[in-house]
Amino acid sequence: MPPVPKRPKPIRDKKHLAFVRTLPCLICGAYGCDAHHVRAFQLRTMGKRVGDDKTVPLCREHHDMAHGPLGEEAFWSEVALMRQLFVKTLNAAAALYRHTGDADTCERLIREWRE
């Protein structure tokens, strides 16, 4: 039996996390955000956080809701109401990572996500 390939290590990028914290909340547009690691619907190793490239800005209220008693999947279901919007969220996280440091582009992406 061939060996099972190892999963790639998650990306760790403190500069990107700091940048995401400067952006408006993906849900309500408020500033003063946390960098939320989007982990719903993703397989991950026990105790391992998803990569920093899978982060979106959430204000404290929405970040607390995402980590609330119902869990992240319920949060995204309530906020998004459909899986399609969650996929859009993952795409937003990837786009924000690609444009780290470019606040104008990232704020435009967040406005487009909210439309």
Structural domain includes residue 7:
no
Number of domains in the chain: 1
Structural domain includes residue 88:
yes
**Where does the pLDDT of residue 47 fall: very low under 50, low under 70, confident under 90, or very high at 90 and above?**
low
pTM: 0.68
Structural domain includes residue 6:
no
Q: Are 50 and 38 in contact (CB under 8 A)?
A: yes
Structural domain includes residue 1:
no
Residue 104 domain boundaries: 14-114
pLDDT at 34: 96
**Where does the pLDDT of residue 27 fall: very low under 50, low under 70, confident under 90, or very high at 90 and above?**
confident
Q: Is the dihedral of CA 35, 41, 44, 48 positive or negative?
A: positive
* Burial class of residue 84, CB neighbours in 10 A (0-12, 13-18, 19+): exposed
Structural domain includes residue 33:
yes
Residue 41 has pLDDT above 80, yes or no: no
pLDDT at 80: 65
Residue 40 has pLDDT above 80, yes or no: no
